[in-house]
Amino acid sequence: MSNHIQKCWICGNDADSGEHVIKKSDIKYVFGEANQEHPLRLHTSAKRNIPIASLRSKRLHSPAKICTDCNNSRTQASDRAWEGLSKELQDRLPTIALGQSIRTNSIFKYNTKLRMLNVHLFFVKLFGCAISEDDCDIDLTHFANAITRTKPQSQIYLKLCRIPTIETGPLLLRTEIHAIRDNVNQRIECATLLYQVGEIRIQVFYIHSVDKSTDLSNLWHPRMNTSRLRVSSFQ
């Protein structure tokens, strides 16, 4: 019996690498290193308080596989762009206020548009992995094309939120995809997932098609041609 080889959803080559569900630099920034004496505690939809003794643990990886080239080379710029933005947002707490506009050209002083495009592509990859692992019926073609061509994915929008620290302490979160379907043909019209690092939460929106009635207030997309991210409350 032949073994089934999973294919990378981005490029189609043999998948031999795993993407972190939460970026390793974000985990380290909030909680520091993990070890046997001071493990992290992972909560999933199926189980709580799973001990994690290393940031390299396979339990921190998405079950959706990609290839080493896509994980290390092709998406490296997007990983670094989010790492830079995430660190800057964390460093600016607690001065970040609801309704404030974050000027990304003050964070990325050079090549702002390209680096913010790469932030967008980081969440395109994150959402694509979630689609693959959840076997969600959203076509991955546009996601893969955006990453391989370093172009915006027209259906993915970001919303920056600040969530005040709760009594349980710092939080790292990446949810499953929550989808809304058309009542007639059952096509997914809108879907979201949440990615949270401490008090900073990114709500990632998949919007199948945009028309004049679509409310894009407080959402950001590279094609909006703005260097400002508005800080919103989570709704």
d(CA 218, CA 159): 6
Alpha helices in 108-140, H assignment, sequence order: 112-134
Q: Which of 97, 89, 111, 64 is nearest to 196 (CA)?
A: 89
> Mind listing the pLDDT tens digit for each residue in 169-226?
667 788 889 999 988 788 899 999 999 888 899 999 999 988 878 888 899 999 998 8
Residues 6+ apart with CB under 8 A from 92: 102
176 to each of 123, 127, 130, how far by Cα in Å? 14, 9, 7
Please name every residue paired with 66 in a beta bridge, in sequence order, or none if there are none: 17
Cα 62 → chain centroid = 12
Percentage of the chain exceeding pLDDT 70: 89
> Mind listing the pLDDT tens digit for each residue in 136-161?
899 999 999 999 999 999 999 999 99
